[in-house]
Chain A
Amino acid sequence: MHSKALSGDGAVFQSRHQPWRSLRNLLFLGIVLLFGACERTLERDVIVDNLIYGIDTIPVYSSSAEKDKLKTTTQFVSTAYSQLYLRPIPSETLNELSLLRSAHGDKNLIGELVISHFLADDAVLATLTTETEMNTDPEAFVEQTYLRFFLRLPTAYERYALSRQILSDPETTVIEVYRAFLLSNEYLYY
């Protein structure tokens, strides 16, 4: 049994540790190791930028059709964090955010809030491409953004269409584009 009580430090509710966290962590570790191994195995010739973990970013997928499995909550949180902060997520942060996401039924709704938290962090803002760079060479920005979040290169039409959409509205920001990628259906899959 896990009982909760009003917290004195401002939390609406205070929660206790739940024992199945450990199992979840082990599962996640296994998934991360497996995923990392796949990334090495599928290395291609195209090397665009140093984005993830200071390692050359490479396309893991040749097309979106290869993504047919839903990310678990821990996979979603950890990949979003690492692709924005460019470093692995601390285990405590992963635990807390995974539980937070699990506690809500509409994953898109809570995902928007978690991503808003990430995108408001100075550490993430420091990694962003500038609006000037985006608008000067939108196709290069689109390609980098596809690689950063979808781990693949855009098709020619995807590159053209998104570049055109960015240029069509001068108010569009880099954060908005990143937010849209992180909230997209494709981002839910691996």
Chain B
Amino acid sequence: MKRRDFLRNSSLASASLFTAPFLLPSGRAFARAGSRLVNHVVFVLFAGGIRNQESVDMGYLSTQGAGSSGNILPNMLSGAVPGGSLVHSPWAPALSTPLSQQGTLFRNLRYASGPTGHYNGHTVAMTGNYTDTGLNLNLNPDFPTVFEYYRKHSDPMPNARSCWWLSTELGPYPSLNFSRHPEYGALYGANYLMPGYGLGEAAVQYLGGLQTLHPEEANRVKGIKAQLDGFFNQGPGQVSGVKNSDQDNRSIQQLYLDLLSGADTLDLPLPDGVPSYLLTGDGANIATGWKILDRFQPELVVINTTNSDVCHDNFSEYLVALHKADYAVGWLWDKIQQHPVLANDTLLICMPEHGRNLEPNGLVDANGLRAFDHTSDENSRDVFALIAGPSSVVAQGRVVGTPSSPVGESIDIVPTIAHALGFLDAVPSGMLPGRVLDEAWA
């Protein structure tokens, strides 16, 4: 080989080392800036107001003096199931090893400040800031959501399809996919879906027979729209909500239309032999979340469950809802661990948005069990959090915190997610008053 050819070839080879994309195990071409523990985080807001007495304390009916104690969350927690006097039909767990053994349990974690309302609790968990004053419903929160921190402070900036917020109900919850903060907002928001309406009867009726536009037609419409938009001057702060790229728009529309037309179906978090009419709204939400995880492999997903809020007037149904939501969480983790991209690269975090009162409210259900509200007493500020993940990342089977010495706060989940996805250091100081729950790491 001539010297000139050698020099040229060797310099090209050297250059290619710096310019060729490095394929990561997840299939991603480039590693993002910032050190990551995992590439996917699923945060299940195990909401509806959950008392530690019925979750980590495993009190079942004993706190009412009406029967045995026992664990009704066998997918999430280790512990013997109730021995008798059952008010729920037990479902065999979806997991052979409970999540607490596949991660770290923060047994007593504080919702330290502000009213223990559902929307307040969601806002605290998703913004990492307490809300001490009453909230105007249907207004986006003041502080940025975890989605906005994730998108704005990851480099390169992820697209909107990389993060999702799924809720079981409408009301104020659609407002939690981005904030009103002047430095963040819709530009950095997440996709939002409430499956009950978004994929419900009306969606089938109105959208079931549709197809996505032919690309040529879509291009002509896009061209005319671009011209119309060019004549209309509204500031960037006036955008009406989250916007996906054209390509992502088509792929998300295709998912919806596939589901609405029956071309694709949802797997349901139900044990074998259990009929589909026993699926709860919580289960439907998690089933839809799994479909999105499976198809798009987003990096950050927040899903809530809320059916346990029936505890306001029916303690027995509260226990049933808890048991079914626990099954759905276990089912979701099992699905994640079977996925070629998500397995061993996903962190699962579960936390109630707040607890419930120590004292009952005076209502009694058909089984004679007393009901509980959540009116900001100390008991309603006592919750748990569970962080599960790969053994190389998360300490397995560790339990931290006691009733007399709680560890962690509700506002700590956002910085913990930010740390896991490698963007915490880029978040401006003072924005997140909480801390990373470092006790969870291996």
Task: Spell out A's residues near B (CB within 8 Å).
Answer: 1-7, 9-15, 18, 20, 64-65, 67-68, 70, 96-97, 99-100, 102-110, 112-114, 116-117, 120, 155, 158, 161-162, 165, 169, 171-173, 176-177, 179-181, 183-186, 188-189
Additional A-B contact list (18), CB under 8 Å, known A97-B202, A106-B242? A1-B48, A1-B307, A4-B279, A4-B284, A11-B204, A96-B202, A100-B200, A103-B174, A103-B198, A106-B192, A106-B241, A110-B198, A117-B207, A176-B224, A180-B225, A180-B228, A185-B228, A186-B228
Q: Is the CB of A116 within 8 A of B189?
A: no
Chain A residue with Cβ nearest B161:
A106
Quote the shortest CB–CB distance from B384 to chain A (angstroms): 22
On chain B, the residues within 8 Å of A105 by CB distance are 165, 174, 177, 189-193, 241-242
B210 is an interface residue with CB less than 8 A from chain A? yes
- The answer for the CA separation of A102 and B192 in the assembled complex, in Å, is 9
- The answer for the CA separation of A172 and B227 in the assembled complex, in Å, is 14
Q: Is the CB of A165 within 8 A of B223?
A: yes
Which residues from 184 to 210 on chain B have a C-beta closer than 8 Å to any C-beta of chain A? 189-210
Q: Among the listed B170, B177, B201, which residue makes an inter-chain contact with A7, where contact means beta carbons less than 8 Å apart?
A: B201
- Decide: A106 near B227, CB < 8 A? Known: A2-B196, A185-B232: no
On chain A, the residues within 8 Å of B192 by CB distance are 104-106
- Decide: A180 near B221, CB < 8 A? Known: A106-B191, A185-B228: yes
On chain B, the residues within 8 Å of A15 by CB distance are 196-197, 200-201
- Decide: A97 near B206, CB < 8 A? Known: A70-B240, A105-B189, A179-B221: yes
Q: Is the CB of B253 within 8 A of A162?
A: no
- Decide: A176 near B229, CB < 8 A? Known: A11-B201, A113-B253: no
Q: How many residues of B contact A (CB 8 A)?
A: 74
Quote the shortest CB–CB distance from A116 to chain B (angstroms): 5
B233 is an interface residue with CB less than 8 A from chain A? yes
Quote the shortest CB–CB distance from B145 to chain A (angstroms): 12
- Decide: A13 near B195, CB < 8 A? Known: A103-B170, A106-B160, A184-B229: yes
Q: Among the listed A64, A107, A116, which residue makes an inter-chain contact with B232, where contact means beta carbons less than 8 Å apart?
A: A64
Q: Is the CB of B206 within 8 A of A108?
A: no
Most buried by B among A103, A116, A161: A103
Chain A residue with Cβ nearest B208:
A10
Q: Is the CB of A108 within 8 A of B238?
A: no
Q: Is the CB of B238 within 8 A of A109?
A: no
Task: Spell out B's residues near A (CB within 8 Å).
Answer: 48, 160, 165, 168-171, 174, 177, 189-210, 213, 216-217, 220-225, 227-229, 231-234, 238, 240-244, 249, 252-253, 256-257, 259-260, 262, 266, 268, 276-281, 284, 306-307, 309-310
Q: Among the listed A64, A114, A176, which residue makes an inter-chain contact with B207, where contact means beta carbons less than 8 Å apart?
A: A114
Quote the shortest CB–CB distance from B174 to chain A (angstroms): 6
On chain B, the residues within 8 Å of A100 by CB distance are 197-198, 200, 202-203, 206-207
- Decide: A109 near B249, CB < 8 A? Known: A1-B307, A10-B262: yes
- The answer for the CA separation of A78 and B380 in the assembled complex, in Å, is 43
Most buried by A among B209, B216, B241: B241
- The answer for the CA separation of A64 and B190 in the assembled complex, in Å, is 30
Q: Is the CB of B240 within 8 A of A96?
A: no
- The answer for the CA separation of A1 and B268 in the assembled complex, in Å, is 21
Most buried by A among B174, B207, B228: B228
Quote the shortest CB–CB distance from B270 to chain A (angstroms): 10
Quote the shortest CB–CB distance from A168 to chain B (angstroms): 9
- The answer for the CA separation of A105 and B196 in the assembled complex, in Å, is 14
Chain B residue with Cβ nearest A108:
B243
On chain B, the residues within 8 Å of A97 by CB distance are 202, 206
Quote the shortest CB–CB distance from B290 to chain A (angstroms): 14
Q: Among the listed B168, B210, B229, B266, which residue makes an inter-chain contact with A120, where contact means beta carbons less than 8 Å apart?
A: B210
Q: Is the CB of A12 within 8 A of B228?
A: no
On chain A, the residues within 8 Å of B205 by CB distance are 96
Chain B residue with Cβ nearest A172:
B220
- Decide: A188 near B229, CB < 8 A? Known: A102-B197, A109-B252: no
- The answer for the CA separation of A106 and B194 in the assembled complex, in Å, is 12
Chain B residue with Cβ nearest A155:
B231
Most buried by A among B165, B174, B216: B174
Q: Is the CB of A176 within 8 A of B191?
A: no
Most buried by A among B168, B208, B217, B220: B220
Q: Is the CB of B217 within 8 A of A176?
A: yes
Q: Is the CB of A106 within 8 A of B243?
A: yes
Q: A-B pairs with the 5 shortest C-beta distances? A: A105-B192, A103-B198, A180-B224, A103-B197, A96-B202
Quote the shortest CB–CB distance from A89 to chain B (angstroms): 12
Chain B residue with Cβ nearest A120:
B210
- The answer for the CA separation of A64 and B249 in the assembled complex, in Å, is 27
On chain A, the residues within 8 Å of B165 by CB distance are 105
Chain B residue with Cβ nearest A183:
B225
- The answer for the CA separation of A116 and B209 in the assembled complex, in Å, is 10
